Chain A
């Protein structure tokens, strides 16, 4: 099993979500995050004083899928999130030891 973490532009969230559900992903966790990579942050100005804000708002979508689904998820997510501009984000693929569904106690692929 793999955990796929997709860091994307906030306005791409819906596109990524729809691309993943279209290929059969059943569930996901999403949240607003802030961070920075190569994309510069933005300025904020209060009463004439300028502040550089390094952290850029992004959305992180996390899905856990079987090994054979993982490349499809990565491909679909990348296609949906791609604009070609700096700041498109990152996709991390992380091995997962096991999954437990709390309600039933199922483990592994059955619990996804």
Chain B
């Protein structure tokens, strides 16, 4: 039975989530050097096209289609959106057209590979990157999405909770980011000189667009304009707020001055960390989760610098760790009083949920890391992932796209 309010809300949420990908492009684009800004933006932007095509013919059916057995992958019964129309799908969202659920989920599939690009910014060939992203979407995103969110998915059946993508989006991209830096290596001159962000206002604009879109990402995941959507909306804002506050405080204490990039990083860390818990936890838990995100992700990024690990824009330390931390904390703070369709966490009398969450993290993290590693190895052996030193020196914009961002 279609409800007009729910349908309108989820369609608007889908548009909000789409906007996150250009927002992410600006967030990343501002942090790289001026010669790489277009190439960096393009890596996120092109996913809107590439993954949406994949979604129609493979992705949606593999993620949400009828289970092929064992809860590991969906069949291709819905390829080309066969049977995905105006009639609702009662398994997923009984009050909105099935096509609206499909396009809403498409936006999640689009942004996830775009998130990985921050790890290997400023040094990867565009053609190899496109091939990697397509393979990654099919071999990593689609199976994991089916396990956690698909009807009959094995992790879903096990009771693993992921409200809006702590595992499906943030942990998968974080694991892939870790593998990519291990295989691709550091940027030339990394450790010998500093790489400064070329346009922090661009990064802050991107942060604003991400935050705005995140309401669609998390509140929209309720798939109805109801009480759960409302509490997820509130939790999302409080998570981002607390993440920003904590990171800013840490920076002020340990580095002498609060910075805009720190505030933006803290906000994104808080938002990523609240994502898996957003629809299951109350407002005070959301504040605690956001504070924990600001604290842990700040130290993760500091540690990265000490290890000389060139995850250029901190995908592992912010998204990977955020997804992991939030998924775990959902197992502490989840409450059926907030969401009767969820579960209780350890603080609400159900310690078993924490173990289930930890198992989900271990399985998804390991799978995403191993398969990403294998895909990267294969693409590197056949096409080569890195630009030549000269191309890297000239920058992605001219070397890969024949464009310059800033004219005379």
Contacts and interface: CB of A to CB of B under 8 A. Distances in A.
Interface string A34-49: 0000000011111000
Contact of B393 (A9, A42, A45): A9
Given A42-B398, A83-B390, 18 more contacts: A10-B393, A11-B188, A11-B189, A11-B393, A12-B393, A14-B189, A14-B193, A18-B192, A42-B394, A42-B402, A43-B402, A44-B398, A44-B402, A44-B403, A44-B404, A45-B402, A46-B403, A87-B390
Contacts of A18: 192
A84 to B, nearest CB: 12
Nearest to B389: A11
A87 B390 CA distance: 10
B2 to A, nearest CB: 43
Q: Is the interface of A mostly helix, strand, loop or mixed?
A: mixed
Contacts of A44: 398, 402-404
B36 to A, nearest CB: 12
B392 interface: yes
A62 to B, nearest CB: 18
Interface string B364-401: 00000000000000000000000001101110001000
B390 A11 contact: yes
Interface in A17-33: 18
B398 A10 contact: no
Nearest to A18: B192
26 contacts: A9-B390, A9-B393, A10-B393, A11-B188, A11-B189, A11-B389, A11-B390, A11-B392, A11-B393, A12-B393, A14-B189, A14-B192, A14-B193, A42-B394, A42-B398, A42-B402, A44-B403, A44-B404, A45-B402, A45-B403, A46-B403, A57-B35, A57-B394, A83-B390, A85-B390, A87-B390
Closest 6 CB pairs of A and B: A11-B393, A45-B402, A10-B393, A14-B189, A14-B192, A44-B402
Contacts of A14: 189, 192-193
A85 B388 CA distance: 13
A29 B116 CA distance: 37
Interface in B286-325: none
A112 B392 CA distance: 34
A10 B402 contact: no
Contacts of B394: 10, 42, 57
A14 B390 CA distance: 14
A4 B404 CA distance: 31
Contacts of B188: 11
Nearest to A44: B402
Contacts of A87: 390
A41 B35 CA distance: 16
B302 to A, nearest CB: 24
Interface string A44-69: 11100000000001000000000000
Nearest to B401: A45
Interface in B184-199: 188-189, 192-193
Interface in B174-217: 188-189, 192-193
A21 to B, nearest CB: 12
A87 B188 CA distance: 19
A64 to B, nearest CB: 23
Nearest to B402: A45
Most A CB atoms within 10 A — which of B189, B392, B402, B404? Answer: B402
Contacts of B403: 44-46
Contacts of B398: 42, 44
A42 B35 CA distance: 14
A112 B300 CA distance: 44
Contacts of A10: 393-394
Contacts of B404: 44
A10 B389 CA distance: 10
Contacts of A83: 390
Contacts of A57: 35, 394
A20 to B, nearest CB: 14
A43 B193 CA distance: 29
Contacts of A11: 188-189, 389-390, 392-393
Contacts of A43: 402
Nearest to A46: B403
Nearest to B397: A44
B39 to A, nearest CB: 14
A57 B34 CA distance: 13
A54 to B, nearest CB: 13
A41 to B, nearest CB: 10
Contacts of A42: 394, 398, 402
A12 B393 CA distance: 8
A42 B390 CA distance: 13
A76 B366 CA distance: 48
B189 to A, nearest CB: 5
